[in-house]
Chains A and B, each alone.
Chain A
């Protein structure tokens, strides 16, 4: 009975955790990195050169995932190689399992970890940085410790889960509804936080402020002096109808362009640049601009 030692498992995981992205390319995506991750296990399981060669060749083929959550695939693959070395299963089944895992692990990793947890943690650290304006770097330092350590622990746990539970076990877990509930709960968390972030951080003003010359009371001298007062400020008007309606509209507009009209982020960035230029220009128009 051949088994992969604890030490080899750790080595295989570390190969993946640190170097999964080194040789990313269009042909096999993370294929070479996956091969590097599998190499220690293959060496331990197979003695004949032909067996090692065949095993390495099946693991440098096309593979892609969100690699932090996707370490579960490496665990599953090692478990299946172990069975194969003992005469159970087939090389084709390993290939099929890897292909089948690409979709779900990428989806979970991208939407749960990368698009929700990272912005969330960054937001918390930003709040800390903002609160400690004299020592804002503390926020950065907290992220530098919490994110890598937390992700390392999660990724190692998932790797072991894949190795122990195997493909069937992982698929059973995915189908059990528990994962679905976690996803839904995190989605709710993410949506509320993104709502708050939109209200706090997105800024957009139309810069239309019509002023008129008038006598203004000057506190310092206690008398009326020549000055200007605002008679029509479009931004204030809109905000009194619904606070921060423009940033909300801008965000929804971007969502629409990205999610529904399939604009690329770079194209949207260009549009925002043009909008910012136009709105800034409005602010400098004599008579109606907010900056003059």
Chain B
């Protein structure tokens, strides 16, 4: 990575974080998702092929990394931008695809922890901005009400994301230049196993939102066996599920009318 690429990736790490200046819809929920983050890093580093190769398994592992109530222990934006950048930067030092994916998960681990810590720093520092907001509100200054939120909160957010990102990416660069790292086979096997087991975390958390009564487990198993017994793709199951949902909605509406 040259210095321009480091800065660009760090900027996107900021944009993909919670509360960036492009908003959570474009930021955290779009640029911050691994599939999209990998594509962006691939474009910046000129290797979209490798980026998507590691981006897909990262997205699967972190599919349900949602943040109910703003509880961030694991910063997805940080994790996947750094994971993908690390895989591409150190590509020359490892042999096969599995090792690349292992590298990406290792980078994501480092990035996730750094990002999670910085989010908590951001969250704590923002409390002080409230004093500023109170002053503006007391003065009834409607024209300046954006300042505490965007300059105060936005500025702290940018500094908390951008600077650590540049440091971590530069460290990866230095490791790439040294190129003395040889990743052992057992480590790659283990980290790949971890990645594919991690998908269970996402599924378990989503289930905790969705399951409200016993019969819901039967519906869940319906989707499961459509894949295991019938060999359908997830896309095919999604279409079938949509059809079933529409029918259920219509039946429920009709039943209510009858009463």
- Residues of A whose CB lies within 8 Å of any CB of B are 15, 17-29, 31-33, 35-36, 38-40, 42-43, 49-57, 59-60, 64, 67-68, 106, 110-111, 114-116, 118-120, 122-131, 136-137, 139-141, 143-144, 147-148, 151-152, 155, 177, 181-182, 184-205, 243-244, 247-248, 250-259, 264-266, 268-269, 272-273, 275-277, 279-280, 283-284, 291
Contacts and interface: CB of A to CB of B under 8 A. Distances in A.
B36 interface: yes
B208 A32 contact: no
Nearest to A181: B252
B143 to A, nearest CB: 7
27 contacts: A17-B25, A19-B154, A21-B19, A24-B70, A27-B130, A35-B149, A110-B69, A126-B56, A136-B53, A147-B29, A148-B26, A184-B249, A191-B211, A196-B224, A198-B203, A199-B225, A202-B196, A202-B203, A250-B197, A256-B204, A266-B73, A272-B198, A275-B197, A276-B194, A280-B189, A280-B193, A284-B186
Contacts of A254: 200-201, 203-205
B56 A125 contact: no
B127 A273 contact: no
B229 to A, nearest CB: 7
Contact of B237 (A128, A143, A192): A192
Contacts of A277: 190, 194
B142 A60 contact: no
Contact of B186 (A151, A202, A257, A280): A280
Contact of B66 (A15, A33, A115, A272): A115
Given A22-B157, A115-B66, A125 B35 contact: yes
B133 A32 contact: yes
Contact of A122 (B63, B125, B211): B63
Main secondary structure of the interface of B (DSSP, over half): helix
Contacts of B199: 197-198, 201-203
Nearest to B148: A32
A257 B201 CA distance: 10
Contacts of B226: 192, 195-196, 199
Given A155-B25, A280-B189, A291-B189, 9 more contacts: A23-B154, A25-B127, A110-B69, A111-B209, A122-B63, A126-B56, A137-B39, A202-B197, A203-B199
Given A191-B220, A193-B234, A243-B229, A201 B60 contact: yes
A24 B237 contact: no
Nearest to A255: B204
Quick one: which of B42, B59, B191 has the most chain A CB within 10 A?
Answer: B59
Main secondary structure of the interface of A (DSSP, over half): helix
A203 B207 contact: no
Quick one: which of A40, A53, A130, A197 has the most chain B CB within 10 A?
Answer: A197
B233 interface: yes
Given A136-B52, A187-B216, A20 B63 contact: no
B256 A177 contact: yes
Interface stretch (B5-13, B168-176, B238-246): B238-246
Contacts of A187: 210, 212, 216
Contacts of A54: 140
A208 to B, nearest CB: 14
A102 B25 CA distance: 19
Contact of B24 (A68, A111, A256, A264): A68
Quick one: which of B59, B193, B208, B252 has the most chain A CB within 10 A?
Answer: B193
B140 A258 contact: no
A192 B220 contact: yes
Contact of B18 (A24, A143, A265): A24
Contacts of A27: 127, 130
